[in-house]
Amino acid sequence: MKFYEFLDRGPKIDGLVIVEGDDAILAQRALDVVLDRLLPQDMRALNCDVIEGPEAENVGRAVGDAVNAMPFLAERRVVVVRNCQRMRAQPRRDLWAVAENVPAGNTLVLEDLFPPAKKTKPEPFGQLAGRKALRIDTTPNADVRERFVRETLERLGAKAQPRVVAMLADSESDLGAIRNDLEKLALAGRTITAADLERESLSVEDPKAWQYAAAVVEGRPADALAIAFDLFANDPRGAAVPLASALANEFALLWELARPGGGDLPPRHRWRERILRPIARRVGERRARYGYESAVRGFEAVVTGRIDDPRTMIELLTADLGHRLASGR
């Protein structure tokens, strides 16, 4: 069942739920909706366990003990196992043995972000379960992207040309990139046009902007400024937009990896994981978030014309973030 079908139809939730597909944003929303339907907020502390699958010791025993416990002043107990797609083969087998024997009245939710039809070893939990589980597919297609775009615009109180909606729906971008694009373009406070999307989107095409952002995050501020100054030499007023955009995107990836449990990058950014994950462990969630929010503020200042000297803003932003990443503050 596609994510929005699950949202619209509200199917019955029994003992086993598998959140599959490959989009982390929809996966989180699916988990939130499942919990909202099964447990009132004031009952969750005593009746809901969330376990990071790759990090749990003896995950089969831990999940088995949790899912077999009796509910406390509630109708059921819910156990959520996150990031199963990153677990090794034997722990997955141990976990599946538990999933096949969930006691009546309780619910086990497995977040296993593989596309439903993908052939992998070991086999994805959704394929193992077949019709025995409620399966929520988070894989985005054009219809999913279009609805996501419209919902995001509504949440932001923003408007966009129909062409913008169509461009984003037909793109191959993951939903995280689409959301970031719209959040930043909405800051200008006007109807988002196709030209805005092509010019100011976080899907920055200039490789130098990405090189700049990578140098900042990797703790090489001098290299980052050298790249930025080269861009400013060719475009004194316009260079700050792709630079701030790329920096916000890079820190968004770092923040995702720095979240509790380690996070998971969208498919089109996973090639960066080998470099970014060790940095995320060192930097931590608080500093990664600070970097993202600082870059967003810089982007907003440029596109709204609140600053007269974009180059100096990029210099100060680079120096501040470089100092904070190096100092541990």
User: What is the DSSP code string of 184-229?
Assistant: HHGGG-S-B-HHHHHHH-SS---HHHHHHHHHHHTT-HHHHHHHHH
Q: What span, in angstroms and rounded, lies between the C-alpha atoms of 117 and 62?
A: 29
- Same domain (yes/no): 156, 220: no
pLDDT digits (tens, 9 = 90+) for 241-265: 889 988 998 999 999 898 887 777 7
- How much is the pLDDT for 235? 84
- Same domain (yes/no): 257, 323: yes
Mean pLDDT of 100-127: 89
pLDDT at 104 over 80: yes
- Same domain (yes/no): 97, 15: yes
Domain span at 191? 142-199
Higher-pLDDT residue of 291 and 270 is: 291
The model's pTM? 0.65
Q: How many domains does the chain have?
A: 3
- Same domain (yes/no): 214, 235: yes
Look up the CATH number of the domain holding residue 104. Answer: 3.40.50.300
pLDDT digits (tens, 9 = 90+) for 161-219: 999 999 899 887 778 778 878 887 887 788 999 888 876 554 444 578 888 999 999 88
Higher-pLDDT residue of 121 and 95 is: 95
H-run or E-run covering 299: helix 273-303
Look up the CATH number of the domain holding residue 214. Answer: 1.20.272.10
Q: What span, in angstroms and rounded, lies between the C-alpha atoms of 69 and 76?
A: 10
Tokens for 278, please give them: 């060790």
- Same domain (yes/no): 272, 258: yes
- Same domain (yes/no): 162, 111: no
Mean pLDDT of 101-129: 89
- Same domain (yes/no): 33, 63: yes
Mean pLDDT of 17-45: 93
CA distances, 311 to each of 4, 74, 202, 281 (Å): 44, 58, 19, 31
- How much is the pLDDT for 118? 67
Q: Look up residue 136 and give its DSSP letter.
A: E
Q: What interhelical angle do 221-234 and 240-258 show, nearest 10?
A: 150
pLDDT, the chain, mean: 88
- Same domain (yes/no): 154, 40: no
Mean pLDDT of 285-303: 90
- How much is the pLDDT for 326? 79
* Weakest mean pLDDT among 123-137, 226-240, 246-260, 269-283: 269-283
- Same domain (yes/no): 38, 54: yes
Closest Cα partner for 33 from 73, 1, 70, 69?
1
- Tokens 């009245």, located at residue: 105
H-run or E-run covering 175: helix 175-185
Q: What span, in angstroms and rounded, lies between the C-alpha atoms of 14 and 106?
A: 8
Q: Any residues with CB less than 8 A from the CB of 180 and at least 6 apart, and which?
A: 202, 248, 249, 252
Q: What span, in angstroms and rounded, lies between the C-alpha atoms of 206 and 225?
A: 16
pLDDT at 158 over 90: yes
